[in-house]
Structure 1
Amino acid sequence: MSQNTAFVTGATGLLGSNLVRLLIERGYGVVALVRSLEKARRQFPDLSGIRLVVGDLDNVAAFAPTMQGCVVVFHTAAFFRDNYKGGRHWQTLQRINIDGTAALIEQAYQAGIRRFVQTSSIAVLNGEPGAIIDETDERDPAGADDYYRSKILADQAVRAFCASHSAMNATFVLPGWMWGPGDRGPTSSGQLLLDTVRGKLPGLVPGSFSLVDARDVASALLAAAERGRSGERYLAAGRHMTMAELIPLIGQIADVPTPRRKLPVALLYLIAGIQELIAGLSDKPALLSFATVRLMLKEAGRSHFNPLKSQRELGLVFRPLELTLRDTLAWYRAHEWLSESAGARP
């Protein structure tokens, strides 16, 4: 291993894969935790300096020995099926997001690692519609949906461990809705872009969001590891935007027509039911799940986040969203997800 070797969970995901590439570029060695070697080899076909480890947060002890010799853990893995394919999954959310995180930081400490970067979420924060939200605006877990609550409790597990192990330096990075190249899942953002370009959107949905490039979040994670203050949160939420603004922008960049009519709430719930049924029978995410519809309505206007702390302490800079969308679209076209002959994922 190199002198500076990082352990990365969720390494084949949108954020994890961009973080791995950034770490290699900055001279780190990488031990990458993956669930599928096949997917990892597709994601990193030509990347040197990376060691692939197959494992799952369901059983941290099984891969724990591979953390030996690493100097930092970047925890980007999470379970978010309730907003991805619909349904209720609290037991799995607790087992993976909360218990898995607690086990991971414990095993990292046992392996001699003293720096841990937790990928949190804007889900742990809350504010009034239209208010500018910063890292101090706590969300009450009692009023959060299952995924949001799991992220709050996962962060609490990290804090509880550090409270009894003062030598562990842990920082928290809070991303918004991530977009960017390398989204092989695809996640909800990639699926939305694909469906928009393919003309599959029936109309515009309500709500506002905070969009950020996964590459910028990766930069925030690395900066948090190198110069973040232990116990501190750092927002990497990106740009506030409504769906009525986002969809036409995607259409403009992709040079495709996009819908203009806004869908009524009752129709959104009907579409969510159909989408969850389709998602349950396929490997594609639901464009709309019941959880997503509920969140869009509840969180409307609560997506203005203050990046000043991250800019000041981490030097975080957000690239223009238009560039992110162009790069994401170019990646899908280059990898033939938008081939004229098919129009479906390869």
Structure 2
Amino acid sequence: MPDDFNPAHHAPLAFVTGATGLLGNNLVRELIAAGWRVRALVRSPDKARQQFAGLDIDIVRGDMLDIAGFASALAGVDTLFHTAAYFRDSYKGGRHWDALYAANVDGTRHLLGHAYRAGVRRFVHTSSIAVLHGRRGQVIDETMLRKERDADDYYRSKILADRVVLSFLDSHPDAWAAMVLPGWMHGPGDIGPTSAGQTVVDVAQKRLPGVPPGSFSIVDARDVAQAMILANARGRRGERYLAAGRHMTMADLVPLIARAAGVAAPRGRIPLWLLHVLAAGYETYARLTGRPVLLSWAMARTVAKEADRSRYNPAKSERELGLSFRSVEDTLRDEVAWFRANGFIPG
């Protein structure tokens, strides 16, 4: 072995989009723990410095609306992990189709093209359970694709993004890609915070007036990150892999959050009709004041439409990838601890 041999220089190089997000930052950490070098795409270097203090990674400033602006950083990359998406703002009132299409559909298309021209041949795409659909109470697997007419704008953008990936594989036989489909992600590192994290903060600070309706599939972002790494290592080309987690109603989840936070859980229920009334009021208030919407009509409609459609079959991911899921209780304990340590919840 030559005297100047450095094993770090021979570790595989990952490029992670959306690196400061809940999934992205956990993926960065899991990749480093697995021996990868990481190049992280961020929109805010300040947020990146806060999120990744002490980690040895390359920070790349850029935006999914301008792939050409950071395309040079794709050179030498072994696998591109794509977690960036326009999501949260699409549930803040009004219509957002143009922004959703630009970031999630065109952004994915341009990212694949620039990465391929830079020599990247492996791509792990963050899809969503939004691309799947079943009857209420039915257990859903990766074959049960949602029709566009059954999709809201965000869900539709994810359906079209998946098609971009599959179309790219059809026209580039030397490229490889797989898709990972997360459920409603919780966990530490939620600097946003996401709607999941905000729910935890609201319960911990006793701001939730009651238990809202709806059901979700709850998954730890660290487990989704592992699913993406395992998909790259063991997944099959062009396949979808669920990383959706555990079916729970909000009535199941809220008491678990309260217990993790050491507070009393709200006892009352918010009926679905009241959720719609509140959403309409919030949207009107937001239009008059310019302040963000706490609960949008789009979110209320999604809660109603997707209720009890959150049971997902992890068998394919368990069998082909070796994926496993930690308990929701462990996830919530770590999530609350992170929010406390970072000042979102009083100590």
Amino acid at match of 1:216: D
Which residue, out of 105, 117, 120, partners 2:127? 120
1:299 aligns with 2:323: no
Q: Partners of 2:279 and 2:264 in 1: how far apart?
A: 23
Structure 1 pair 13–59 and aligned structure 2 pair: CA distance change class (3 A): same
Q: In structure 2, list runs of 5 or more residues that go unmatched.
A: 1-8
% identity of equivalent residues: 57
- Give the equivalent residue in structure 1 for 2:21: 13
What TM-score does the superposition give when structure 1 sets the normalisation length?
Answer: 0.94
SS in 2 for 1:16: helix
What's the CA shift for 1:264?
A: 2.5
- 8 Å contact 1:83–1:289 — kept in the other structure? no
- Give the equivalent residue in structure 1 for 2:54: 46
- 8 Å contact 1:120–1:173 — kept in the other structure? yes
- 8 Å contact 2:90–2:96 — kept in the other structure? no
What's the CA shift for 1:274?
A: 4.3
1:183 aligns with 2:196: no
- 8 Å contact 1:6–1:31 — kept in the other structure? yes
Which residue, out of 164, 172, 180, partners 1:165? 172
Amino acid at match of 2:64: L
SS in 1 for 2:181: strand
Q: Partners of 2:13 and 2:260 in 1: how far apart?
A: 38
After TM superposition, the structure 1 = structure 2 runs for residues 239-254 of structure 1, keeping only pairs within 5 Å, are: 239-254=246-261
SS in 2 for 1:73: strand
Q: Partners of 1:298 and 1:56 in 2: how far apart?
A: 32
1:338 aligns with 2:337: no
Which deviates more from structure 2 when the two are superposed, residues 183-192 or residues 246-255? Answer: 246-255
What's the CA shift for 1:88?
A: 1.3
Q: Partners of 2:278 and 2:145 in 1: how far apart?
A: 32
Q: Partners of 1:83 and 1:292 in 2: how far apart?
A: 9
- 8 Å contact 2:278–2:295 — kept in the other structure? yes
Q: Partners of 2:149 and 2:111 in 1: how far apart?
A: 25
- 8 Å contact 1:176–1:210 — kept in the other structure? yes
The root-mean-square deviation of aligned C-alpha atoms, in Å, is 1.5
Q: Partners of 1:22 and 1:309 in 2: how far apart?
A: 22
SS in 1 for 2:140: coil
1:111 aligns with 2:111: no
Amino acid at match of 1:36: S
- Give the equivalent residue in structure 1 for 2:3: none
SS in 2 for 1:79: coil
SS in 2 for 1:57: coil
- Give the equivalent residue in structure 2 for 1:99: 106
SS in 2 for 1:309: helix
Q: Partners of 2:83 and 2:93 in 1: how far apart?
A: 21
